[in-house]
Amino acid sequence: MRQLLLIIVVCALCCCHRPQPQIPSYKSGRAVVADSALLQALEVNRHLAEEADRQLTRFASAGYAQMESGYWAKGLRDTDSPLQEGETAQVHVRVLSLDSTLFEDTRLTVTIGKEQLPEAATDALRHMTRGGRVQLAVPWYLAFGSTGNNSVPPYTNVLIELETEP
């Protein structure tokens, strides 16, 4: 009887093992290559962002103040009555290279807080009043990014001039 019980226990321990977790289908060798390519691209972007910050720090050393979110501003003042979230405003937007080559010159109706402009410009509008004017020195990653747009090349640091209509 003891031998039969011992055989049952040994069989139960040997036969009732947990199955190994399956490897998800996206974890094939091919995905590892894609993951390493992504990591390499992220590293390249990090280096480009650091260089953009160095370039803008040199450029904006006179007359600009660095904002918390990473762009530089000239003419942005604290005010008691800034434009409010959801409010609409007529905005004259000029986008230039750091050497003053004009990329864009447009007038837009924007809703404050909606991302209709590059991230830095959207943030600056939250601090402006009607009739206000500001010049922003913006790194590529807060402007038009790694893809650019129809008129601004990829990875381009820009000056953005914003003027709100009174």
In this prediction the pTM is 0.71
pLDDT, residue 144, reads 92
**DSSP secondary structure string, 111-164?**
ETTS-SS-HHHHHHHTT--TT-EEEEEE-GGGTTTTT--SSS-TT--EEEEEEE
Q: How many Cβ atoms sit within 10 Å of the Cβ of residue 149?
A: 15
Residues of the chain where predicted confidence (pLDDT) is lower than 50? none
Kindly report, residue by residue over 129-144, the tens digit of the pLDDT.
Answer: 889 999 999 999 899 9
pLDDT, residue 10, reads 63
* Tokens encoding 89: 């405003």
pLDDT, residue 107, reads 96
pLDDT, residue 162, reads 94
What are the chain's domains?
A: 56-164 (3.10.50.40)
pLDDT, residue 30, reads 53
